[in-house]
A and B are shown apart, each in its own frame.
Chain A
Amino acid sequence: MRLDETDRAILNRMQDDLPLIPHPYAAIATELGIPESELLHRLSRMKEERIITRFGPFFDAAAMGGAFCLCAMAVPVENFETVLTKVNAHAEVAHNYERTHRLNMWFVLATETPEGIEATADAIERETGIEVLRFPKLQEFFIGFRVAA
């Protein structure tokens, strides 16, 4: 799917916070100078095409009393798929990426309690026999998550 200028303007605007009002799409459409129906149609299409992976509230597990933790493992290449299946089977594994390093599997644990991080990481170590290095955030230098479309 090719994105035209209007799609790009929508995508850029929709990465910013949406107002908490009964008709948020109408407000954004007015800002962008297009009818609400067109905005909704284009958004639906971008979602179907997976250009937008998700649209809605971003929750912070830590503010709910839970926790996030970046974890890494050095997985032998020959066992990669077996280990991957065991790691991904945990619902607490929110994102998982293969990366170019001896530590080749990097995932984020999101749990509803701080204890859940240690419990899940320990369980993965038991199940796979591989150490799970834990890199909780100490400080976040957050400005905004934006991709210019």
Chain B
Amino acid sequence: MIDAKDREIIEALQGGLPLMPAPYARVAERLGMDEDALLFRLAELKSRGVIRRIAAAPNHYKLGMTSNGMTVWDVQNDRVTELGTQIGALPFVTHCYERPRALPDWPYNLFAMVHGADRDEVEEKRAEITAILGDACRAKDILYSTRILKKTGLRLKAKG
């Protein structure tokens, strides 16, 4: 869990880290705290997994990765951990999760996001996944994204 000070820090940083030589000094000043104290708090948030990493989120579309396929698979329950680990390690898979099925409409329990320059490239990569899953996979599908409808990331609601 997070306390009120952590919350202030998260709110101050959710828009991003300032692009200037001493970014934490600037954020600390805004929060009325010392830079050292801020860095200490951030290190603690990181060790607890509240902050996963401090990094850039690239825009796939602008990088020419215009095709994005959510590949979905119905994998035998007793093999999903072993196979999910293998699929998650593929260099072209950016996210890989086991999720519950929604029967009868949705038999798929393994989701792997694949990006490529076009659909042919995504299909080639998908064929590699098909080969790895082999007999353990009973059904599969791919859902291409045709439009980004919203992308804001996590936003804390202002609390009084």
Contact A56 B50 (CB under 8 A): no
Q: Give the nearest-CB partner of B70 in chain A.
A: A99
Whether B63 lies near A146 (C-beta < 8 A) is no
B17 close to A22 (CB less than 8 A): no
Contact A135 B99 (CB under 8 A): yes
Q: Which of A15, A51, A59, A142 contacts B55 (CB 8 A)?
A: A15
| Complex CA distance for A21 and B55, rounded to whole angstroms | 14
* CB of B141 within 8 Å of the partner chain: yes
In contact, A97 and B148 (Cβ under 8 angstroms): yes
Q: Which applies to chain B's interface (DSSP): helix, strand, loop or mixed?
A: mixed
* A141 and chain B: residue at smallest CB distance: B88
Is A122 an interface residue, CB under 8 A from the partner?
no
Q: Count chain B residues whose beta carbon lies closer than 8 angstroms to a beta carbon of A.
A: 75
Instruction: Please state if A98 and B145 are interface contacts (CB–CB under 8 Å).
Output: yes
Q: Is the interface of A mostly helix, strand, loop or mixed?
A: mixed
Asked if B50 and A60 make an inter-chain contact with CB atoms under 8 angstroms apart, the answer reads yes
Give A118 Cβ to nearest chain B Cβ, in Å.
Answer: 14
B131 contacts across to A, CB distance below 8 A: none
Residue of B nearest to A98 (CB): B147
Report B-chain residues with C-beta under 8 Å of the C-beta of A106: 70, 143, 145
Check A57–B143 contact: CB distance below 8 A.
Answer: no
A28 to chain B, nearest CB (A): 11
Given A36-B21, A55-B57, A141-B87, also A107-B149 (CB < 8 A): yes
A99-149 contacts to B (CB < 8 Å): 99-103, 105-107, 110, 112, 133, 135-143, 145-147, 149
User: Is B39 in contact with A139, judged by CB distance below 8 angstroms?
Assistant: no
Count of interface residues, chain A, beta-carbon cutoff 8 Å: 69
Instruction: Name the contact of A49 in the complex, choosing from B2, B23, B62 (C-beta under 8 A).
Output: B62
Nearest to B62 among chain A residues (CB) is A51
Contact A51 B59 (CB under 8 A): yes
B84 at the interface (CB under 8 A from A): yes
Establish whether residues B50 and A63, one from each chain, have CB atoms under 8 Å apart when the complex forms: yes
Question: A99, B19: Cβ atoms under 8 Å?
Answer: no
**In the bound complex, what is the Cα–Cα distance between A91 and B48 (angstroms)?**
25
Partner of A143, one of B53, B89, B157: B89
Chain A residues in the interface with B (C-beta under 8 A): 11, 14-18, 20-26, 36, 40, 43-44, 47, 49-61, 63-65, 70, 72, 84, 88, 91, 93-103, 105-107, 110, 112, 133, 135-143, 145-147, 149
Interface residues of B (CB under 8 A from A): 1-2, 10, 13-17, 19-25, 35, 39, 42-43, 46, 48-60, 62-63, 65, 70, 80-81, 84-85, 87-89, 91, 93-100, 102, 105-106, 109, 111, 115, 141, 143-157
9 additional A-B pairs beyond A56-B14, A138-B99, beta carbons within 8 Å, are: A16-B55, A49-B62, A51-B63, A57-B10, A99-B143, A99-B145, A100-B144, A140-B88, A146-B94
